[in-house]
Amino acid sequence: MGGASSRDQQPSKSPFFNQEELQGLRSAYEEDGLVKAVSLIQEKIKDLDAIKLNIAVTGESGSGKSTFINAMRGLQNGDVGAAPTGNKETTMEPTPYYHPTLPQVCFWDLPGVGTLKVTADKYLTKMKFEQYDFFIIIFNARFKDNEVKLTGEIKRLGKDFYFVRSKIEYDLESMKMSGMKFNEKEELGKIRDHCVSKLKEAGISSSGVFLISSFKINKFDFPALQETLSNNLNDIKKHAFMLSLPNATVKIIDQKRNTLENKIWMLATMSGALGAVPIPGLSLACDIGILVTAITDFRQYLGLDDASLQRLANMAGKPVGDLKAVVKTPLMGEINKEFVIRMLTGTTVVGISIAEVVLDFIPIIGSLFGAASSFGMTYKLLHNVLDDLTQNAEKVVEAAFGTAPKY
């Protein structure tokens, strides 16, 4: 498929490359051949793997900052790397807490403004606000003057910020203990409206407040908060953020699948072009090492490695054995070159042609490969792997939280 078809001329759906970069790929291939084009894809994958995401979490002492930071990373108090919890302010400096498997994603615990006894503008300088991608402002009662001033300074910097009302489960529990009969959805609406009105009284325009429990990450506004944070990031940072989220809902798993799918064509291109070696029993060649790493990474990103399963079991309060029992895939064992070769020579992937690939999703591939190529085979293999792992991850969520999967 040498020439560009009408479909090739359509805007690409590949989120990690802008149109200028895609044109650069085409030009590189036309001028210097496949090796040059693939080197640009390599650089993009390195950028994806190296992107830094710094998230600031601020609020008064006792507002639930540390518990929230742990929940966003799938950790509990006492886990290795967990932020210490309690009502006492534990830090007077910005304290980083890295994601346990994606250290490029970091949550920063900032002490409350009132703790340092400094003005909001000086607090801004001391906390090095410029380095953060966005801010989460947590409160569990009245929104205080310090937060009002802080919000103004964040707005002045042009940074995004989000209001989170924590410990919402205590409000509902208090109502139950008092013997009140109430509709939970209506009461949550009242609390949310009250928070928004108080923000407006303080001169802060806000589209909403997220009501969360850091102990129930699949309930209340926790999933909506995660989705909102993700949607307001650029595609590359969104990729890192989505993959860092604990598997609390089926929707999160689907979103992880989508972002990983966007990467498959790049991995398949590299595997089919960089140092490719013949595959025994096939007339094609590819870099098996790239596929081994990709499959292992997919499994971890979708929360099916042992450490991720244990963390999820801890958060859900379930034995990890209950979660592992629902996983039915050969991809849970050791992923090595011999295993991948057996997959490549299996009947499910042999004979895949480039015509079976959605070319408007995969820019320039039609120009780089022939109709029957290692690209088509490895592309299909990684899609099969991703589908298999996604279905099993959804079964794990059902076992952990009782959320019915789509399958």
pLDDT reported for residue 357:
54
pLDDT for the residue 62: 83
Nearest 5°: the CA angle 317, 323, 327 is 165
pLDDT per residue over 316-326, tens digit each?
999 999 999 99
User: How buried is residue 228: exposed, middle or buried, by Cβ count under 10 Å (0-12/13-18/19+)?
Assistant: middle
The CA distance from 30 to 28, in Å, is 6
Give the CATH H-level superfamily of domain 52-244: P-loop containing nucleotide triphosphate hydrolases (3.40.50.300)
The upper half-sphere exposure of residue 385, i.e. CA atoms within 13 Å in the direction of its Cβ, equals 31
Looking at residue 349, its pLDDT comes to 55
CA 142 to chain CA mean position, Å: 31
For 1-27, write each residue's pLDDT tens digit. 233 333 333 334 578 988 888 888 888
What is the C-alpha to C-alpha distance for residues 218 and 175, in angstroms, rounded to an integer? 21
For the chain, give every domain's residue range. Answer: 19-32+247-401, 52-244
Residues of the chain with pLDDT under 50: 1-12, 358-361, 370-372, 405, 407
The C-alpha atoms of residue 68 and residue 232 are separated, in whole angstroms, by: 20
In 264-368 the beta strands, taken as DSSP E runs, fall at: 277-278, 285-286
Cα–Cα distance between 250 and 247 in angstroms, integer? 8
Rounded to 5 degrees, φ, ψ at 194 are: -65, -45
Write the CB contacts of 233 (distance below 8 Å, at least 6 apart in sequence): 53, 133, 241
Per-residue pLDDT, 360: 47
Residues 276/286, Cβ–Cβ less than 8 Å: yes
